[in-house]
Amino acid sequence: MAAKEVDFYFDFSSTNSYFAAFLLPAICGRNGARVNWLPLHLAALFRGTGFDVMAMHPAKARYLWEDHRRYAELTGLPFRRPSRFPIKTSACLRAVLAVKQLSEEQSRSTDAELSAGAFSQGIFRAYWEHDEDISDRAVIAALASELRMDQKRLFELMEDDQIRAELRAVTERAIQRGVFGAPTFLVGDEMFWGKDRLDFVERSLRR
Amino acid sequence: MAAKEVDFYFDFSSTNSYFAAFLLPAICGRNGARVNWLPLHLAALFRGTGFDVMAMHPAKARYLWEDHRRYAELTGLPFRRPSRFPIKTSACLRAVLAVKQLSEEQSRSTDAELSAGAFSQGIFRAYWEHDEDISDRAVIAALASELRMDQKRLFELMEDDQIRAELRAVTERAIQRGVFGAPTFLVGDEMFWGKDRLDFVERSLRR
């Protein structure tokens, strides 16, 4: 039997993706499954679906921030409402793909997906815990250095046309699979949307 | 200490309100709290917020029906996707308010809220389990008869200007309290939106 896998589509601008990025690995860990970290360009996806986060009714937006605060309290994750919202994330999303390629180029003992996971969690923390401006390359540089990555090569890859095309391809493929928002989890063809469905993801992995 | 209460805003056209209508009473029961059944005219509320359920992206609509099916499987509720969706619910919503008044007029031993709850669950079942056309008064009449209510007086009240004004007032008051969708639960000033927050409602009742 092939190893179990969860395709995890996320964007750094999505609050619920932040929560999922820290809760999903534990769920996968205890069920012998691996996480495929798949950066999704939500801004591009929403251009197609017509969704506009800024068009949200103020009463709903107010409620959702309070809901996130309660969820952080429940999970113990040190979530903090960022002062910049929404934020451009395309550079960070390309960086995730660049980290995977860098990891393969360096034939490190660390798996490309594990590197992508550590990097992605670092960006999520910077934005949703430390209120950093993740559209600023300095944040990516600092994280790369912390994770002992080759910064120069990482930035080269990030700006490479091939990685730009790959981000478009990952997003396109997600749309073809029925993805309409983030976080989305796919276990085989079973799709689950939102952090509130992590229990369904776990039930699916247990079967 | 005053008895604990949950203000439950619902509309019969809301799938998640269906689930909440059967799950909330058990939660309240085991926490010594009462449910206030508050019919919310979602169509009127959405005219104010600009939300349009029919404008939903097809990929999202498809996913949500599958998600409801899974949730029904999990909870054991005999949910079935209705052939008419969405549906006009204003008559049923007024009927809930009429049932409360009827219960008071008759000074029955049953509490007005309990009567409203039994009636509301009956309408939810008719639509979300038996695929009945709840915009048809015959469904209301059959349920009233099943619950041994004075049908003639119920229909009189339903069409009364006072009950019409009351439905508008309940909806207006909800909007003033920050309600933007259904189901919404208020425990004092704490607001929770969606069946996925019933666990938060229970935690709030336990405090």
Domain ranges for chain A, please list them.
4-206
CB nearest B180 (choices: A49, A57, A200)? A57
Angle, in degrees to the nearest 10, between helices A198-206 and A15-30: 20
Place of tokens 């349920």: B143
So what's the pLDDT on residue A129?
A: 98
Mean pLDDT (chain A) is 94
Average pLDDT over residues B46-54: 72
Average pLDDT over residues B96-108: 90
Average pLDDT over residues B17-29: 98
Q: Report how far apart, in Å, the C-alpha atoms of A149 and of each of A102, A119, A124, A130, B107 are.
A: 8, 10, 18, 21, 76
Average pLDDT over residues B71-80: 97
Average pLDDT over residues B78-100: 96
Q: pLDDT tens across A177-205, in order?
A: 999 999 999 999 999 999 999 999 999 99
- pTM for this model (two decimals): 0.93
Q: Report how far apart, in Å, the C-alpha atoms of B38 and of each of A56, A83, A159, B92, B194 are.
A: 25, 37, 55, 12, 15
Stated as kind and residue range, the H or E segment containing B125 is helix B112-128
Identify all chain A residues contacting B200, using CB atoms and an 8 Å cutoff. 70, 74
Identify all chain A residues contacting B49, using CB atoms and an 8 Å cutoff. 57, 59-60
So what's the pLDDT on residue B109?
A: 63
Please count the other Cβ atoms lying within 10 Å of the Cβ belonging to residue A131. 13
Average pLDDT over residues B175-196: 96
So what's the pLDDT on residue A48?
A: 74
Q: What is the largest CA-CA distance in chain A?
A: 50
Distance CA A12, CA A197 (A): 19
Which residue is closest to A176 within chain B, CA to CA?
B59
| pLDDT band, very low/low/confident/very high, at B53 (cuts 50, 70, 90) | low
Mean pLDDT (chain B) is 94
Burial class from Cβ neighbours inside 10 Å (0-12, 13-18, 19+) for residue A196 reads middle
Average pLDDT over residues A129-134: 98
So what's the pLDDT on residue A56?
A: 83
* Residue of A54, A56, A67 to mutate, interface with B, max B Cβ within 10 Å: A67
3-state secondary structure of A13: coil
Average pLDDT over residues A85-101: 96
Nearest-10 Cα torsion for B16, B10, B24, B143: -100
So what's the pLDDT on residue A3?
A: 79
For residue A196, give how far its alpha carbon lies from the nearest alpha carbon of chain B (Å): 7
Place of tokens 């203000």: B7
High-pLDDT (> 90) share of chain A, %: 88
| pLDDT band, very low/low/confident/very high, at B164 (cuts 50, 70, 90) | very high
Place of tokens 């934020």: A87
Place of tokens 């992995």: A205
A·B CB contacts under 8 A: 48
User: Would you state the structure tokens that stand for residue A39, as one six-digit string?
Assistant: 């950066």
So what's the pLDDT on residue A47?
A: 86
Closest to B158 (Cα-Cα) out of B42, B149, B182, B85: B149
Rg (CA), chain B: 17
Q: Report how far apart, in Å, the C-alpha atoms of B55 and of each of A50, B50, B51, B60 are.
A: 10, 11, 8, 11
Characterize the bridge pairing of strands B190-193 and B184-187.
antiparallel
Closest to A194 (Cα-Cα) out of A18, A52, A39, A28: A18
A147-156, B53-62, B155-164: which range is least confident on average?
Answer: B53-62
A3-12, A14-23, B26-35, B55-64: which range is least confident on average?
Answer: B55-64
Say which residues have a Cβ less than 8 Å from residue B81's Cβ, sequence separation at least 6. Answer: B65, B68, B69
So what's the pLDDT on residue B41?
A: 97
Average pLDDT over residues B66-80: 97
Burial class from Cβ neighbours inside 10 Å (0-12, 13-18, 19+) for residue B60 reads middle
- CATH architecture of the region B4-206: 3-Layer(aba) Sandwich (3.40)
Q: Report how far apart, in Å, the C-alpha atoms of B155 and of each of A86, A189, B160 are.
A: 51, 49, 9
Is the pLDDT at B14 greater than 60, yes or no? Answer: yes
The chain A residues in contact with chain B (CB within 8 A) are 49-51, 55, 57, 59-60, 62-63, 66-67, 70, 74, 175, 178-181, 191-193, 196-197, 200
Place of tokens 């029919």: B54
Is the pLDDT at A75 greater than 90, yes or no? Answer: yes
So what's the pLDDT on residue A54?
A: 66
Which residue is closest to B59 within chain A, CA to CA?
A178
Is the pLDDT at B31 greater than 60, yes or no? Answer: yes
CB nearest A193 (choices: B49, B63, B197)? B63
So what's the pLDDT on residue B56?
A: 83
Is the pLDDT at B1 greater than 60, yes or no? Answer: no
So what's the pLDDT on residue A67?
A: 97
So what's the pLDDT on residue B51?
A: 67
